[in-house]
Amino acid sequence: MKKTVLAVAALIASGLALTACEKQIKPPFETGVCFHVVTNKDGSLRYNPVARNVPQMEECAATLEGMRIRFVRMGQSNNRGMVGAYQGSFIFIEKEGIYLGQTYDGPRFMSLVRTGDGRLAVPGAIRRVPAQ
């Protein structure tokens, strides 16, 4: 029993060590600059500034959402999400809403959700009235 526990512990420790060695992709930190992030053919990321003097992340997310809507109106498929960056954080625009992450491949946290008509709102701000 002890050998099994030790073997499992060693396996978990080695997995954590390998994960810690993996290079995390982090966005640039430029104060007030909102970026659209594009994946190059070689897998690297290119950061295109779309707005400057942006006071907060939500405004950057709204700018990127407006850009996404304009792309859809020009005929781009709506199936793909869009990625942006603002002051050291990634912004992931998905069909469910907007997620934030400190790294490109790491965990993402819900920031804004889509309402029934496609608008963005703070999670929990809209309450549904039960049908009677």
- CB neighbours of residue 53 within 10 Å: 9
pLDDT band at 98 (very low <50, low <70, confident <90, very high): very high
Residue 55 to residue 10: CA distance in whole angstroms: 47
Residue 65 to residue 92: CA distance in whole angstroms: 10
> Is 40 part of any domain?
yes
> Is 92 part of any domain?
yes
> Is 20 part of any domain?
no
- CB neighbours of residue 64 within 10 Å: 25
Residue 87 to residue 102: CA distance in whole angstroms: 10
pLDDT band at 34 (very low <50, low <70, confident <90, very high): very high
Note down the domain range covering 58.
25-121
Give this prediction's pTM.
0.73
Strand order of the sheet with strand 82-86? Answer: 45-51, 34-39, 82-86, 89-93, 97-101, 109-114, 120-121
Q: Point out the least confidently predicted range of 15-24, 36-45, 115-124.
A: 15-24
